[in-house]
Amino acid sequence: MKPTELKQTSSGRGVLSSITPETSMHMLSQHEVEKLCDTSQGGLHELFRNSALAVLTCGNETDDTKALFSRYADFEIGLEQRDRGVKLELINAPASAFVDGRIIQGIKEHLFSVLRDIIYVHNEIQHNNKFDLLTSNGITNAVFHILRNAEIIHSVEDPHLVICWGGHSIGDIEYRYTKEVGYQLGLRYIDICTGCGPGAMKGPMKGAAIAHAKQRIKNGRYLGLTEPGIIAAEAPNPIVNELVIMPDIEKRLEAFIRVGHGFIVFPGGVGTLEEILYLLGVLLHPDNADVPFPLIFTGPKGSASYFKIIDSFIKKTLGSKAAQRYQILIDNPQLAAYEMNTGIQRVREFRKQTHDAFYFNWHLSIDHEFQKPFEPTHASMARLDLHADQPIHMLAANLRRAFSGIVAGHVKTQALNAIEIDGPFNLHGDSTIMKLMDELLQSFFKQNRMKIDQHNFKPCYEIIA
């Protein structure tokens, strides 16, 4: 049987396909195979299965994780260690992952990226005394090693990687705008990194791919950084040619700002605001005051009101210092790309002067509060300190956690199940901050930015002043 040929299983369980790696993950130990096949609480099988299913639904633009898992409830993945290497066996995999009975090459590569990262994080990070995940330096070291193991760190290249953030449920006009900005960036020999999903994560990559073809760039990079809790809601888009699965949202966010040389934020929803607050909170750390970090908010003319309310929220909660760290450019893709390219040159000169690496931003200080994994539960959300009487960067950290919990409550299975049983999360804080949060979230809902399908949308939170 050919490596990706479909056939009926002898047991009658469904359609089976067998896949072998081409360049990586040829060999696993028996212990690793057992962990990946172990369906007990301590095993990795559920994590592996769900992440693999998300990859196999590439191009399926839905953020309803419960519906996705329900639709493919009969999907199963097995793993076998043979003399000549590892073989994956997929049963009842989504048909869209195959063409004429053979798996799409990009999806096949992503499957083994999932396998690579889950194995590495479990063996070398979470169960290795070399990494102290209770300290700031230990977490940063772990992030570096995960990225290096995934071979996405290229030591000899000049800075030219731009992180693009934005919503997965944006409209057509905004999506076309993200493509145009990506095109302008690509013409300037800039590579793209996003959260790997649809919408504003796909558009810049698509635009850059066209520009790279025009510039005869044959090694353009379209890097996707995700994590197990969000990958099913934001399955890798077809343009992604490098995929990394970070162990949690905090390490994913740190990975973005360690490898990126500049940031462009497109219109989005709650998840985009979480990312903005994380980045601004880091930049507001006193040690980072002199670190050049180009950050541009941009969108088409119709998105001006979105950025106006974002800008107002930032200024009223975090103050003018935070607002000084970004610029807003409306309806001008060429200027946005030009300003970003100019900003990256300043980053290059700063890294040379400080002897910091081009490939990993070691110089940037990240407070431990931004690195500690936050598990959104009813208790942890209710305990959040959403009051103004604390350092600005700490308020940003807690606001980030609040919006992270709202993201989880709308798309992540564990939070969805908890809310189904115990009702929405409660958020408490200063009346002014609570009012601003409520106004912001209401505006997201009115602009259809909460989910791809808002027809049966129910807020997962209640704001209590």
Of 121-125, 194-198, 298-302, give the range with the top mean pLDDT: 298-302
The rounded distance, in Å, linking the Cα atoms of 31 and 17 is 24
pLDDT of residue 16 exceeding 80, the answer is no
Taking residues 70-78, report their average pLDDT.
88
Structure confidence at residue 209 (pLDDT): 98
**pLDDT over 80 at 352, yes or no:** yes
Residue 5: which pLDDT band, with cuts at 50, 70 and 90? very low
pLDDT of residue 33: 78
List the single range of 132-141, 225-234, 262-271, 350-359 with lowest mean pLDDT: 225-234
* Tens-place pLDDT, residues 399-439: 999 999 999 888 788 888 899 999 999 999 999 999 999 99
Under 8 Å between Cβ of 190 and 208: yes
User: pLDDT-derived band of residue 451, with 50, 70 and 90 as boundaries?
Assistant: low
pLDDT at 86 over 80: no
Q: Residue 296 has what pLDDT?
A: 98
pLDDT at residue 186 in the model: 98
Range name among 77-86, 151-160, 172-181, 277-286 with the lowest pLDDT average: 77-86
Distance separating alpha carbons of residues 20 and 329, to the nearest angstrom:
47
Domains and CATH numbers, the chain: 6-105 (3.30.1850.10), 153-354 (3.40.50.450), 369-464 (no CATH)
Query: To the nearest whole percent, how much of the chain has pLDDT over 90?
Result: 66
Q: Is the pLDDT of residue 458 over 70?
A: yes
Average pLDDT of the residues in 11-40? 69
Q: List the single range of 303-317, 365-379, 411-425 with lowest mean pLDDT.
A: 411-425
**Burial (0-12, 13-18, 19+ Cβ within 10 Å), 421:** exposed
Structure token digits, residue 223: 């890097």
Amino acid at the residue 72? Y
Predicted confidence (pLDDT) at residue 465 exceeds the cutoff of 50? yes
User: Is 204 a residue whose pLDDT tops 60?
Assistant: yes
Average pLDDT on 87-93 reads 89
pLDDT at 326: 97
Q: With contact defined as beta carbons under 8 Å apart, do 440 and 309 qualify?
A: yes
Mean pLDDT of 103-118: 91
pLDDT of residue 386 exceeding 60, the answer is yes
| 445 CB neighbour count, 10 Å cutoff | 14
Instruction: Please state, in angstroms and rounded to a whole number, the distance separating the CA atoms of residues 41 and 133.
Output: 22
How far apart (Å, rounded) are the C-alpha atoms in residues 233 and 62? 6
Count of Cβ atoms closer than 10 Å to residue 137 Cβ: 11
- Residue 181 pLDDT > 60: yes
Closest by CA position to 265, among listed 215, 321, 199, 209: 199
Give residue 57's pLDDT band: very low, low, confident or very high (50, 70, 90): confident
Question: Above 90 in pLDDT, residue 368?
Answer: yes
Is pLDDT above 50 for 3? no
pLDDT at 13: 47
CA distances from 416 to 64, 70, 164, 408, 409 (A): 10, 14, 27, 7, 5
What pLDDT does residue 81 have? 73
pLDDT of residue 194: 97
Higher-confidence residue of 101 and 276: namely 276
Lowest model confidence (mean pLDDT) among 25-34, 244-253, 279-288, 404-413 = 25-34
SS (H, E, C) the chain: CCCCCEEECCCCCCEEEEECCCCCCCCCCHHHHHHHHCCCCCCCHHHHHHHHHHHHCCCCCCCCHHHHHHHCCCCEEEEEEECCEEEEEEECCCHHHEECCEECHHHHHHHHHHHHHHHHHHHHHHCCCCCCCCCHHHHHHHHHHHHHHCCCCCCCCCCCEEEEECCCCCCHHHHHHHHHHHHHHHHCCCEEEECCCCHHHCHHHHHHHHHHHHCCCCCCCEEEEECCCCCCCCCCCCCCCEEEECCCHHHHHHHHHHHCCEEEECCCCHHHHHHHHHHHHHHCCHHHCCCCCCEEEEECHHHHHHHHHHHHHHHHHCCHHHHCCCEEEECCHHHHHHHHHHHHHHHHHHHHHHCCCCCCCCCCCCCHHHHCCCCCCHHHHHCCCECCCCCHHHHHHHHHHHHHHHHHHHHCHHHHHHHHHHCCEEEEECHHHHHHHHHHHHHHHHCCCCCCCCCCCCCCEEEEC
Q: What is the pLDDT of residue 63?
A: 62
Q: What is the pLDDT of residues 123-174, one digit of tens each?
A: 899 888 889 999 999 999 999 999 999 999 987 678 999 999 999 888 999 9
Asked whether residue 12 carries a pLDDT value surpassing 50, the answer given is no
Contact 61, 131 (CB under 8 A): no
The model's pTM: 0.90
- The Cα diameter of the chain in Å comes to 66
